[in-house]
Structure 1
Amino acid sequence: MSEKKFRQKKWQTTLFFTVIIVVTFISSSITKFNFIHSMTTFPSAFTWIFSNLMITEESFKKLPTILTKLNETIFMAIAASTTAAALSLFLGVMGSKTTKVNNVFSVIARVIASFSRNIPIVAWALILLISFGQNSLTGFLALFIGSVGFLTRAFIESIDEADQSSVEALTATGATYFQIISKAVIPQSLPQIISWTLFMIETNIRSATLVGILTGTGIGYSFDLYYKSMDYNTVALITFTIVITVILIELMSNYIRKVII
């Protein structure tokens, strides 16, 4: 690297960090955020956590009820992810440059993905809450819509990365559109499709807890209920079960990815 390019890169790096510092300072001033005060509150915050969020024998008796609600949350997240994956695969095929039928369907698929992806799942839950009320359907739909946007985008990119030579070979032999998709495109993209679906299940299990607080379902509802009643020992147990569940799901997902990829 020449000295001129090195100086230019150094100047760009310095400018970038200067802008970040200035933006941070302005944001802190507007929001009245005091960094020093926040740091000084950490010792008292951790003291409160370790003195209040303790799993006791009495709270442990509620574990069967908590596990029932946790299972409800897990199965809702899995159902939302898998059904969203099915629809997203169709939209991904329509939106991909490799397999699109025409530009109209491609644009529609990409618009649907962009629209549902750019609105947070929590926002979807609040929107749907007005129409469907506090129930499992609202939570399912919020996770489903958010998943469709993310997975459609991921599947489009996965299908676009498929080897074109196999597609061209089948086209030359007179294969139909559906034969090309089922014999060339999907088999190549399947490992990535499964991997993204597993990732979506992990993400939705985490999101379902927060969505449950809003929709009054699953483990999120139990967390909110015991938190508002100031039963912090049970809150600690719920938090612990959520953390363990997420870790186990992630370990299982990583193992499956290693097997299929």
Structure 2
Amino acid sequence: MQANFFIKKGLRQSLFFIILIALTAGAVVLTGFDFAVGLAAIPKAILWGLGNFYPTAESLEKLPDIFSKLIETVMLSIAATTVAGVLALALAVAGSKTMQIHPVFTVICRGIASVFRNIDVSAWSLILLFSFGQNIMTGYFALFFVSFGFLTRAFTETIEEVSSHSVEALKAVGAGYLSIVFRSVIPSALPQKISWVLFMIETNIRSATLIGILTGTGIGFSFDLYYKSFNYHAASLVVICIVLAILAIEFVSNTVRRLIL
């Protein structure tokens, strides 16, 4: 019996790898990608980067403007994530199986979260461009929608995993719905919720760079402007600032996680 189980498991794994290899081969044929040409281009790309893509004294003069755009991008990401987190928490509480208002409402909440979460942030940006044009509101709502969907799903699962026993205890003594929410559901899962919000802020800072290229705002627009004008030294300074900002945010997030978890 056990031998048959391992044989079937091995066959499923083999089938998976065969399908994966077939899909990869098909993609290579359709795109005309040549592995040999790609590998041969790597040394040339490295040499070009070392020879052109580095900051200079002249590019450092643009640092104040780059820093201002970077702050704008970081603030945009934090604002979109925190507002989305508040609304996601309300929807997650009402739609979780632990505190569900109605089973149908739970299905609706999960469906809304799936729609917003599964549409990529770049797709949201392109959709919203028709409504808001190239301005900061387009980037804000693109980040907000994706954050809202992701955090609603994450908060829902966290609430169902963490707070079920305390909720049952409060229900047994006759506590009301709001009392259970504010005395059990939110406090018991608060550290995990904060951790998810911090993770989303990190992700949104990366995404906001791409959004800036599409919407003409923030640090992404600065990089696009310098790169398209062949000012590679300034573009490299933008990349360095983005990397340092992401590392700093990640350090702060990890520190906060260690303190609260």
Q: TM-score range by the shorter chain?
A: over 0.9
Q: Is 1:113 equivalent to 2:113 in the alignment?
A: yes
In the alignment, what sits opposite 1:83?
Answer: 83
The answer on whether the counterparts of 2:133 and 2:215 sit within 8 Å (CA) in structure 1 is: yes
Q: 1:12 to 1:165 in 2, by over 3 A?
A: closer
In the alignment, what sits opposite 1:104?
Answer: 104
1:13-162 residue pairs with structure 2 within 5 A?
Answer: 13-162=13-162
1:249 Cα deviation after fit: 0.4
Deviations 1:170-221 (A, max 9, x none): 1122211000011111111111100000000000000001101111111011
Deviations 1:92-111 (A, max 9, x none): 01210001111232222112
Q: Is 1:244 equivalent to 2:244 in the alignment?
A: yes
Cα distance in structure 1, aligned partners of 2:245 and 2:84: 22
In the alignment, what sits opposite 1:255?
Answer: 255
1:15 Cα deviation after fit: 3.2
1:37 Cα deviation after fit: 1.3
Structure 1 segments of 4+ aligned residues over 6 angstroms from their partners? none
Cα distance in structure 1, aligned partners of 2:164 and 2:112: 26
Of 80-89 and 19-28, deviating more is 19-28
The answer on whether the counterparts of 2:163 and 2:189 sit within 8 Å (CA) in structure 1 is: no
Q: Report the residue type matching 1:139 in the other structure.
A: G
Cα distance in structure 2, aligned partners of 1:13 and 1:127: 39
Cα distance in structure 1, aligned partners of 2:73 and 2:150: 20
Cα distance in structure 2, aligned partners of 1:204 and 1:7: 44
Q: Report the residue type matching 1:206 in the other structure.
A: R
The answer for unaligned runs of 5 or more in structure 1 is none
Cα distance in structure 1, aligned partners of 2:198 and 2:43: 38
Cα distance in structure 1, aligned partners of 2:15 and 2:167: 47
- TM-score, normalised on structure 1? 0.96
Cα distance in structure 2, aligned partners of 1:206 and 1:143: 11
In the alignment, what sits opposite 2:219?
Answer: 219
- TM-score, normalised on structure 2? 0.96
1:54 Cα deviation after fit: 1.1
Cα distance in structure 2, aligned partners of 1:25 and 1:183: 55
1:247 Cα deviation after fit: 0.6
Q: Secondary structure at the match of 1:161?
A: helix
Q: Report the residue type matching 2:49 in the other structure.
A: I
Of 1-10 and 144-153, deviating more is 1-10
Deviations 1:232-252 (A, max 9, x none): 000000000000100110011
In the alignment, what sits opposite 1:199?
Answer: 199
Q: Secondary structure at the match of 1:41?
A: helix
Q: Report the residue type matching 1:131 in the other structure.
A: S
Q: 1:7 to 1:166 in 2, by over 3 A?
A: closer
Give aligned pairs, total.
261
Deviations 1:120-144 (A, max 9, x none): 0111011111111111111101100
Of 236-245 and 169-178, deviating more is 169-178
Cα distance in structure 2, aligned partners of 1:105 and 1:10: 41
Cα distance in structure 2, aligned partners of 1:140 and 1:35: 39
Q: Secondary structure at the match of 2:162?
A: coil
1:116 Cα deviation after fit: 0.7
Cα distance in structure 2, aligned partners of 1:84 and 1:256: 20
1:40 Cα deviation after fit: 1.1
Q: Secondary structure at the match of 1:175?
A: coil
Q: Report the residue type matching 1:40 in the other structure.
A: A
